A and B are shown apart, each in its own frame.
Chain A
Amino acid sequence: MSDTPVVSAGARPKSSMPWPLMVGGLLVGLHLVIALLSLVWTPYAVGDMVGGRLEGPSFVHWAGTDRLGRDLMTQIMIGSRIALVVGCGAVALGALIGVTIGVLAAFATRTLDDVLAAALDILIAFPTLLLAMLIVASSDGASLWTAILAIGIAGSAIVARLTRILAKRILSMDYITAARISGTASPGIVRIHVLPNIWPTLIVNFALQFGLAVIAEASLSYLGLGAPPPNASWGRLLQEAQASVYTAPFGAIAPGLALVSLVIGLNLFADGLREAADPTRRRSR
């Protein structure tokens, strides 16, 4: 019965891409390319001590070396991969849980809705780091998966709350009542009307959440709750560089730049998406 595409929200004017979308896309794309590249090629092998300790940037070591003489560029490239994997995983998990709970809450009876809303508020107030510690403590040690799980669950509360509000607004529209009257059951209403209508806003939120997830991953690794070595995470690079930040500041600056460029890229991308998805923009031409 769903053999015909019913929603045609696509078809945006390609001629005038908002600049944040372009710049953000370029930054994120750059990180993506580097992350993919790191799978097949890095300047040096990850754990190899290939230079002097705490060297500055040079032609041999583009981003310098760390306190054990390992190449920083190599580690930052792998850090890109970790950041993107954890970010993607966390946002996907958060979206899956969040959208499901949000839509259910929007459909739920008043009492259940109140309970869910209160639970979400508590979960949102609960610090991500504390949640991550709980998850790490209750599993056998920190790993990529615990980081994804912790950040994903924390993010899902925000997605759920947003979904619930957006879905409730859509559900109060006359066309939902009309659809119900014409005999559409609730799953059909969600598939045909609710999801397509809240999707543009959710996508923008996912892009923002991605940026937050990258920062959260760096924070977890900084505290030693992220992916353990030999996974080189930016957070761990920052933490290792901290001891020598006054004598060799570039050890902190380089992973910091990587982190900032990706997060700014993601935020710009989200801004651009919001602009591109704005229906009033489409209407004006």
Chain B
Amino acid sequence: MSTLLSVEDLQIRTAARPLVSGISFSIAAGERVGLIGESGSGKSLTALAVLGLLPDTMRVTGSITLDGHPVIGARDRDLVPLRGRSVAAVFQEPMTALDPLMRIGDQVAEVVRRRALRDGTKPGRAEIASRVLALLERVALPEPARIARAFPHEISGGQRQRGAIAMALACRPKLLIADEPTTALDVTTQAEILKLLETVVRDEGMGLLFISHDLPVVATVAERALVMRHGALIEEGPVGTLFGRPSHPYTEGLVAAARAFDAALEFAP
């Protein structure tokens, strides 16, 4: 399989202090990779760096190659065509991930239209509408026609997150970056969204970079995981090996904590 994303010796720093240092990893086409770490460990910064969207107060060095194009050092204008076609993202907070003044259908339609323009086609209004409905159905939204006409505040958090996933799918990206996409949801919804993400990523053959602080969640979705702490990559490997026989004490601690938590739940009256 060809390499979709390769990050080499990534360093991110502000004027005051380093935030991420010496990170290297790669994601092959269609591979699902989890990025684990506590908050403040630099997970999300790494994701933003991959997208070339870090605030300009931060200095980035190293090299990131996304779908054959360099990201670091590229001008924003050159990155615009790369985004969407190569990569799309789903975020943590479904409330702010959608424009509050646009109907869900219009938001998805905007992405569909832009993606079609990239491909050099200009679909008509009816064509776009039917593609939007198909996408909303794809993410298992009930009554897609009604949801398409709804504003974000009129649907539930889980439905909003499905809407956001539909927008990401509309890009038909090669790599989907999911930054804590289930953290703001309740446990049942969380499980559904995870299943949905896994299915669509597998079906479309997309690569997935799944960022989370939640070990069991990563274990469900990813094939391989990276563990970050204090801005550095401390361990990586297939999910089974990593969680079965962790080699770094920190990972060991994480796994033990997750087990202890499960055990506590089982013994709870």
State which of B78-86, B239-247, B261-269 sits at the interface with chain A.
B78-86
A181-B89, A183-B114, A283-B153 given as contacts; is B83 within 8 A of A8 (CB)? no
Query: Which residues of A in the span 150-181 have a Cβ within 8 Å of any Cβ on B?
Result: 173-175, 177-181
Do A183 and B101 touch across chains, with their CB atoms under 8 A apart?
A: no
Is B81 a contact partner of A183 (Cβ separation < 8 A)?
yes
Main secondary structure of the interface of B (DSSP, over half): helix
The B-contacting residues of A in range 80-120, CB under 8 angstroms, are 109-110
Tell me whether A193 is interfacial, beta carbon within 8 Å. Answer: yes
Count contacts on A: residues with CB < 8 A to the other chain.
28
Cβ–Cβ < 8 Å partners of A178 in chain B: 89-91, 97, 164, 167-168
A183 and B100 form a contact (CB under 8 A): no
Asked if B100 and A279 sit within 8 Å, CB to CB, the answer is: yes
Chain B contributes a number of interface residues (CB within 8 A of A) equal to 47
Instruction: Judge if A58 is at the interface, Cβ distance under 8 Å.
Output: no
Chain A 190-208: CB-based contact to B (< 8 A → 1; otherwise 0): 0011001100000000000
Tell whether, in the assembled complex, residue A7 and residue B171 are in contact, meaning their CB atoms are under 8 Å apart: no
Whether A174 and B96, one on each chain, are in contact in the complex, defined by CB atoms closer than 8 angstroms, is yes
Chain B residues closer than 8 Å to A9, beta-carbon distance: 101
Contact B83 A197, beta carbon cutoff 8 Å: no
Q: Does B218 contact A (CB under 8 A)?
A: no
Given A1-B113, A181-B53, A183-B83, A6 and B106 touching (CB < 8 A)?
yes
Given A183-B81, A279-B153: A174 and B102 within 8 A (CB)?
A: no
Say whether B106 contacts A180, CB under 8 Å.
no
Interface residue A15 (Cβ < 8 Å from any Cβ of B): no
Asked if residues A183 and B171 are in contact (CB atoms below 8 Å), the reply is yes
Which of B83, B128, B153 contacts A182 (CB under 8 A)? B83
A151 and B92 CA atoms in complex are apart in Å by: 45
Q: Which of A9, A174, A179, A181 has the most chain B CB atoms closer than 10 A to its own CB?
A: A181
B57 at the interface (CB under 8 A from A): yes
Residues of B within 8 A of A183 (CB): 80-85, 114-115, 118, 171
The verdict on A139 contacting chain B, using a C-beta distance below 8 Å, is: no
B89 A192 Cβ-Cβ under 8 A: no
Task: Rank and list the top 5 A-B pairs by shortest CB-CB distance, nearest first.
Answer: A183-B84, A182-B84, A174-B97, A174-B96, A174-B91
Known: A174-B97, A175-B97, A181-B84. 5 other contacts (CB 8 A): A177-B53, A182-B111, A182-B114, A193-B99, A279-B100
Chain B residues in the interface with A (C-beta under 8 A): 51, 53, 56-57, 77, 80-85, 87-93, 96-103, 106-107, 109-111, 113-115, 117-118, 122, 125, 128, 153-154, 164, 167-168, 170-171, 177
17 A-B contacts (beta carbon < 8 Å): A1-B113, A3-B125, A6-B106, A6-B109, A109-B56, A174-B96, A174-B97, A178-B167, A181-B84, A181-B87, A182-B84, A183-B85, A184-B114, A185-B77, A185-B80, A279-B153, A283-B153
